[in-house]
Structure 1
Amino acid sequence: MSSIDFAYHLFGDRHPSRGLSTITYSPAFTLVPTYECFNRCAYCNFRVDPNRDNWLGLEEAASRLRTLENLGIYEILILSGEVHPRSPRRLALMQRIKDLCLLALDFGFVPHTNAGPLSFAEMQCLREVNGSMGLMLEQLRDDLPVHRQAPSKHSALRMQQLAWAGELKIPFTTGLLLGIGEDEGDWAATLAAIATVHQKYGHIQEVILQPHSPGTDQIYDGLGFDPQRLPEVIALAREILPEAIAIQIPPNLVADLQWLLRCVEAGASDLGGIVPKDEVNPDYEHLDLDIIRQELTKARKELRPRLAVYPQFDAWLPSAVKKVVAQLRRSNLEVSQAAHLP
């Protein structure tokens, strides 16, 4: 087996020349610079009001990262609330995010940042310290009641972000939030928009199909998305999206293992970041990974870990990030090769 074959085997990434019966996930840990956010999405269980949160300090972040050594964690998700773009504290937030990414790299982890819509200059800056970045498109519609007090959820802003990520060669994750007042036609339109921007730049790694699941802190009185309809949306996504884009589903929001398997059969190939706590959906704990693995094995699927950046995008990475990614791939390759020696 060649070195690149080993890399794909080890991290479960899609091999460009063969269709592997594999489901991937990212062993991850989340750092939240701040929960404060100027948006008021009706379904949110994450935010606190502006100026009502103590930002995560670097010493505390280092202490948390230190506990992760030798636990098989590869990705540090930097997930932030949004300080208003015109706020005098906006620059400080961007610097804090960058410093957290640098800290993660120093510990040998690959950062992945999702901090809401960014300016081109902010994306350009954060590109230098991230393996990949992300922003949910959610839905193309701008008339959804859940977003009436959420100006940064305007679809044009988010589509601009996807395009800028392509121009800057940033491996990118985006996705749909399902069950927030949209209809089936909206799913197709949103997926088609993602497909179009990817066809131009080739930078979308994954599309998340996230069923809205009611939480204790939200004000939206919707019932949430029926996870039993998720295979239907996955099949539609697989029809519209280029094959190179992985379809991701969050397993803690599809708690019925049989329906999780139905989602896999419909075309889902990734379970996203498996973290100790889902900060966006704190009421929903992740299923036990061993149980998921056992059920997938029965269905002739193999669950494999992956990095926050897929190997086909390694050449895009800035030097500081590429060094960490290469070390992770190399160190795990050496372990795997040793295990295969007679």
Structure 2
Amino acid sequence: MDRIVTYSPAYTIVPTYECFNRCAYCNFRTDPGQDEWLPLTVARDRLRALQNTGVIEILILSGEVHPNSPRRAAWFERIYQLCQLALDLGFLPHTNVGPLTLAEMARLKTVNASLGLMIEQVTPRLLATVHRHAPSKVPEKRLEQLTWAGQLAIPFTTGLLLGIGETIAERRESLAAIAAIHERWGHIQEVILQPHRQGHAQTWVGPDLEPREFVQSIADARQILPPSITIQVPPNLLPDPTFLIACLEAGARDLGGWGPKDEVNPDYPHPSASDLYTQLAAAGWQLVPRLPVYPRYVGGRSPAGLPWISPKLQAVVTQWNMDLTGARPQFRWFAGSPSLVSAALPPFTG
């Protein structure tokens, strides 16, 4: 059995927390007009401080500006500029900012190693409960994004939010929908299984997902999803650090992006990388870093013949691949010492 589990050394940049959706479980958003957009000068200073620390991925994570808002074009341009800035400074951007138009996705492909969007659940029942005030959470809209990503040959990350009122059968239906789209395009690199955990700002009060049920959901996902899709679990949302081993035994193989703060779940800090590295090693697992684009997409083409990676990203991807494989001696510490990466990260400042 494969005993390797991966993670992405990452840092999150948030252009704005404002969002026109009001998901009842959200601990991230602010109301439109209540948040100043992140200036490019501030972002540049943060990114420059991250150079030579081992951070690879810059996650651009944003609240959503309404598709018909007069500020939509400026919002998207700020996201694009942040991606270009991160790329120019030697990082690999990964953007997750809600549903986009086909044209917006095509443009972001030129400056992103991969894109992401959580499906959450495909059942329309949640539109009457936790998604009652969240117009962009219409399941058909979210699934359309996965299809467009496949057509555009964009390596993609998606996932489910578990424990927000869905049934076990509905979880399996959501996984089957993801699998069907991937079977056609081959572009979904990982599926996140994220258990709901109560946060300080949310309005919906629901019980945390029962741990055994979460492990069973991982096992179900491993049966339903194609083997080429990696299952990701967030270790900071697990009820007990030792519980992670059960998740790995059930089929999870990735721990997502690690940085100073989980912006979506600010009440749950990331575990110590050094402690987790030691814990996994004791259980026979090897923790290793990865890029935000999986190896099978690097240098390859989609079934339609389109390149998975934009030409302007190729040099940066190649450079990081050399770093991770130890081809450059000064970076050999990176793969075996995740604690050094965490220690080198600058503190989160807002």
Partner of 2:336: none
Partner of 2:258: 274
Q: 1:337 to 1:51 in 2, by over 3 A?
A: closer
Residue 99 of structure 1 and its aligned partner are, at CA, apart by 0.3
Q: CA RMSD in A?
A: 1.5
Partner of 1:154: 138
Residue 224 of structure 1 and its aligned partner are, at CA, apart by 2.4
8 Å CA contact 2:218–2:250 kept in 1: the answer is yes
For residue 325 of structure 1, the aligned residue among 313, 317, 322 is 317
8 Å CA contact 2:92–2:317 kept in 1: the answer is yes
Q: Does 1:66 align with 2:58?
A: no
Structure 1 segment 1-342 matched on structure 2, within 5 A: 20-144=2-126, 145-315=129-299, 316-332=308-324, 333-335=326-328
8 Å CA contact 1:101–1:129 kept in 2: the answer is yes
Residue 255 of structure 1 and its aligned partner are, at CA, apart by 4.3
8 Å CA contact 1:248–1:272 kept in 2: the answer is yes
TM-score (norm 1): 0.92
Unpaired stretches in structure 2, ≥5 consecutive residues: 300-307, 334-350
Residue 134 of structure 1 and its aligned partner are, at CA, apart by 0.3
Residue 93 of structure 1 and its aligned partner are, at CA, apart by 0.8
8 Å CA contact 1:208–1:247 kept in 2: the answer is yes
Residue 81 of structure 1 and its aligned partner are, at CA, apart by 0.4
Residue 152 of structure 1 and its aligned partner are, at CA, apart by 0.2
Aligned-partner Cα distance in 2 for 1:338–1:147: 45
Moved more, 62-71 or 240-249: 62-71
Number of matched residues?
A: 322
8 Å CA contact 2:323–2:332 kept in 1: the answer is no
Whichever residue aligns with residue 179 of structure 2, its letter is A
8 Å CA contact 1:112–1:134 kept in 2: the answer is yes
Residue 327 of structure 1 and its aligned partner are, at CA, apart by 1.4
8 Å CA contact 2:119–2:139 kept in 1: the answer is yes
Q: 1:336 to 1:229 in 2, by over 3 A?
A: farther
Aligned-partner Cα distance in 2 for 1:337–1:292: 24
Equivalent position SS for 2:327: helix
Aligned-partner Cα distance in 2 for 1:338–1:106: 20
Residue 321 of structure 1 and its aligned partner are, at CA, apart by 1.3
Q: 1:339 to 1:189 in 2, by over 3 A?
A: closer
Partner of 1:9: none
Whichever residue aligns with residue 297 of structure 2, its letter is F
8 Å CA contact 1:255–1:287 kept in 2: the answer is no
Residue 55 of structure 1 and its aligned partner are, at CA, apart by 0.3
The percentage of aligned residue pairs carrying the same residue is 55
Residue 335 of structure 1 and its aligned partner are, at CA, apart by 2.9
Residue 21 of structure 1 and its aligned partner are, at CA, apart by 1.6
Residue 339 of structure 1 and its aligned partner are, at CA, apart by 6.5
Equivalent position SS for 1:294: helix
Aligned-partner Cα distance in 2 for 1:74–1:102: 14
8 Å CA contact 2:156–2:189 kept in 1: the answer is yes
Aligned-partner Cα distance in 2 for 1:26–1:176: 19
Superposed CA offset, 1:235-268 (max 9, x none): 0000000001000000000141221110001010
Q: 1:339 to 1:273 in 2, by over 3 A?
A: closer
The ranges of structure 1 where at least 4 consecutive aligned residues each deviate by more than 6 angstroms after the TM superposition are: 337-340
Aligned-partner Cα distance in 2 for 1:134–1:338: 28
Aligned-partner Cα distance in 1 for 2:11–2:69: 28
Whichever residue aligns with residue 111 of structure 1, its letter is P
Equivalent position SS for 2:125: coil
Residue 143 of structure 1 and its aligned partner are, at CA, apart by 1.9
Equivalent position SS for 1:272: strand
Equivalent position SS for 1:236: helix
